[in-house]
Amino acid sequence: MNDRNLKLIGERLERFREIRGLSRTVVAQRLGIASEELADLEAGRKSLRREWIETLRDAFALDPAWLLGGRTLEDL
């Protein structure tokens, strides 16, 4: 995955979290990672693992297609 895609996914993850009113701490705990690692994901410095995407889908009803760039914000 290239840097541009990582940045887009990170921005969408952060936007989703903010729309839902979720703190970085809450999401990070659910993913089993540190808040700093979630910050790296949101900044596009780190790739999401498949199991994290599945956890986001199951725990927060986050659509993986939207997260990965396949749909628009209005579809959220």
Q: Check pLDDT > 70 for residue 71.
A: no
pTM: 0.85
Q: Check pLDDT > 50 for residue 5.
A: yes
Length of the chain: 76
CA–CA distance, 42 with 36 (Å, rounded to integer): 10
Q: Residue 36 burial by CB count (10 A; 0-12/13-18/19+): exposed, middle or buried?
A: exposed
Q: Which fold has domain 3-67?
A: 434 Repressor (Amino-terminal Domain) (1.10.260)
Supply the pLDDT for residue 75. Answer: 47
CA–CA distance, 5 with 44 (Å, rounded to integer): 8
pLDDT digits (tens, 9 = 90+) for 11-70: 999 999 999 999 999 999 999 999 999 999 999 999 999 999 999 999 999 999 889 886
Q: Is 2 left (phi over 0), alpha (psi -120 to 50) or beta?
A: beta
